[in-house]
Amino acid sequence: MACANTLWSEENFSCSICLDVFNRPVSTACGHNFCRTCITKFWDEQVQFKCPVCNKIFDTKPDLQVNTLFSEMAAQFRMSVRVKEQPCEEYKVKTAQLGKMEAEVPQMIQERKQKIKEIKGTVELSNKDANREIADGGQVFTALIGCVEKCRDEFNQTVKEKLKSTEKRAEYIIKELEQEIEDLTNRSSEVKQLSHTEDHLHFLQAFRSLKDPPPTRDWTTVEVRPPSYVGTLRRSLDQLLETLNMEIQKLCDAELKRVQQYEVDVTLDPDTAHTELILSEDGKQVHHGGVQKERPDNPKRFEKHTFVATRQSFSSERSYFEVQVKDKTVWFLGVARESIDRKGGSMLTPENGYWALCFSMDGLVFIANPAVRLPLRAELQKVGVFVDYDEGLVSFYDVEARVCLYSATGCTFIEPLYPVLSPGLHQEGTNSAPLIISPVNQMD
């Protein structure tokens, strides 16, 4: 394609005053054309109103007329001049760019179609996961409802049996009492009849048999107590709780297996370690050395707390790692956001960017305000930490017992999270064991 061209020369569309292409051209009565601004200014500077081309003199300032056709032709010429002035090389560059765009746009379209396909696939997978979760949960809840109903029926049966036993005892005693009442009533009638007899011989003979009262029981100590139901409901609930704990244990075991699949390999960052901490060469162990060591100053280094962070951070999706805490009397373990105060001694709470467990002589706690004290059934050997960044979840697991120790839910993460560890102070050898980042040993 050739560069832009025109059959008219620039001279045909030039104002005789400014010698440039007409701008808003107007015509005088003598038929000559000028830029409106040029002719107006020319006449303002002259004594007489005359044409700059033919010197025709006008008695009064002429009424200028817009030459519509000429104006349009001048505009088209001006446009053709601009096109003409653009180098053909620039046209080639633009053509190349257009070709590149022509090739890129279909690729961009294809990429977006692929992304739509991926999103739809994720939604479909999510639906399947949700349906499976609902089905599994439904089975568990159905089983638990069955357990609750069975426990309720057994409790009701126990109460009814106790009541029935009491009723039987009461019925037996009442029968005995009624029999004695009948015997005594009969004796009373016989005594009354004998007291009115005039036959002295009969009186003496009958008196011998009536002088002794009929055999009766001492009822002063006999009583029917209402049945005691103390502990009956509790024992039933204890059985239910035992069943629930077994189901919860199964769920915890399945949950831990699931989160262990998100294992990430993390190593400790010596640039962050407090000067009293000693790290292993492979970055997997840390213990308290007892004395400060000279280390380069670093803005990432902890100064107040004896902490160390990992090189790796979590900023999306799910992550899991395990730390051995065996033989430790004090330790700290969790995750913290990147912008935490590493130089001061701020509280180690979620509000300040920490989500962590602390173990000491006071027991196991999730550090918060107020602190959450957690039950500890046996000595902890290994702790697993799971982070679901998008869901705002941090969970801690007793790996050996395969139970969830605590879950912090509803968290808001807007920056990277770093695993943070502290082995605690040396304490003259009682807490000298290291914290060890361990590989995950998934159980079948």
Q: Quick: pLDDT tens for 166-186.
A: 999 999 999 999 998 988 888
pLDDT at 9: 57
Mean pLDDT of 131-149: 85
Residues 6+ apart with CB under 8 A from 247: 140, 143, 144
Q: Is 154 in the same domain as 55?
A: no
**Gap between the Cα atoms of 302 and 285, Å rounded:** 17
pLDDT tens digits for 1-46? 444 444 455 567 788 888 888 888 888 888 888 888 898 888 888 8
Instruction: Give me 43's structure tokens.
Output: 């006449």
**Gap between the Cα atoms of 261 and 319, Å rounded:** 9
Instruction: Give me 397's structure tokens.
Output: 């697991």
pLDDT tens digits for 360-369? 988 999 999 9
Domain annotation covers residue 261: no
Whether the pLDDT of residue 269 is over 70: the answer is yes
Domain annotation covers residue 114: no
pLDDT tens digits for 403-432? 999 999 999 999 999 999 999 998 777 899
Alpha carbon distances (Å) from 91 to 1, 87, 95, 208, 231: 10, 7, 6, 151, 96
Mean pLDDT of 247-260: 88
Task: Classify burial at 13, counting beta carbons within 10 Å of its beta carbon; exposed 0-12, middle 13-18, buried 19 or more.
Answer: buried
pLDDT at 5: 43
First to last CA, the chain: 72
Q: Is 140 in the same domain as 78?
A: no
Domain annotation covers residue 157: yes
Domain annotation covers residue 91: no
Residue with tokens 């190593």: 267
- Name the domain count of the chain: 3
Domain annotation covers residue 142: yes
Mean pLDDT of 379-403: 94
Mean pLDDT of 210-219: 77
For the stretch 239-256, what's the b/e string if a residue is b when 16 or more beta carbons lie within 10 angstroms of its beta carbon?
ebeebeeeeeeeebeebb
Alpha carbon distances (Å) from 202 to 194, 209, 236: 9, 11, 68
Whether the pLDDT of residue 238 is over 90: the answer is no
pLDDT at 139: 82
**Gap between the Cα atoms of 422 and 383, Å rounded:** 13
Mean pLDDT of 96-116: 86
Give me the DSSP letters along 245-272. Answer: HHHHHHHHHHHHHHHHTTB----B-TTT
Q: Is 344 in the same domain as 425?
A: yes
**Gap between the Cα atoms of 369 and 367, Å rounded:** 7
Domain annotation covers residue 64: yes
Q: In what order do the strands lie in the sheet with 435-438?
A: 277-279, 285-288, 435-438, 318-324, 382-388, 393-398, 403-408
pLDDT at 123: 92
Instruction: Give me 240's structure tokens.
Output: 């239910």
Q: Is 167 in the same domain as 72?
A: no
pLDDT confidence tier of residue 443, bands split at 50, 70 and 90: low
Q: Which domain holds residue 312?
A: 277-438
pLDDT tens digits for 352-362? 999 999 999 88
Mean pLDDT of 67-75: 73
pLDDT confidence tier of residue 243, bands split at 50, 70 and 90: confident
Q: In what order do the strands lie in the sheet with 372-374?
A: 308-309, 417-422, 331-337, 354-360, 363-366, 372-374
Closest CA to 286 of 298, 301, 276: 276
For residues 99 and 387, the model is more confident at 387
Give me the residues paired with residue 287 across strands: 278
Q: Is 315 in the same domain as 368?
A: yes
Q: Is 396 in the same domain as 305?
A: yes
Instruction: Give me 116's structure tokens.
Output: 């739509």
Give me the DSSP letters along 369-434. Answer: SS-EEE--SS---EEEEEEETTTTEEEEEETTTTEEEEEE-S----S-EEEEEE----GGGTT-PP
Q: Is 290 in the same domain as 423?
A: yes
Mean pLDDT highest for which of 104-108, 349-353, 438-442?
349-353
Domain annotation covers residue 240: no
- Low-confidence winner among 139-143, 168-172, 200-204, 248-252 (lowest mean pLDDT): 200-204
Domain annotation covers residue 259: no
| Reduced DSSP (H G I as helix, E B as strand, rest coil) percent helix, strand, coil of the chain, to 5 | 40, 20, 40
Helix (H, G, I), strand (E, B) or coil at 220: coil
Q: What is the CATH number of the domain that holds 17?
A: 3.30.40.10
Give me the residues paired with residue 25 across strands: 35
- Low-confidence winner among 129-133, 169-173, 330-334 (lowest mean pLDDT): 129-133
Helix (H, G, I), strand (E, B) or coil at 74: helix
**Gap between the Cα atoms of 132 and 135, Å rounded:** 5
Neighbouring C-beta atoms of residue 57, cutoff 10 Å: 8
> What mean pLDDT value characterizes the chain?
86
Mean pLDDT of 234-253: 84
**Gap between the Cα atoms of 119 and 91, Å rounded:** 41
Residues 6+ apart with CB under 8 A from 340: 346, 352, 353, 354
Q: Is 336 in the same domain as 434?
A: yes
pLDDT at 398: 95
Q: Is 424 in the same domain as 283?
A: yes
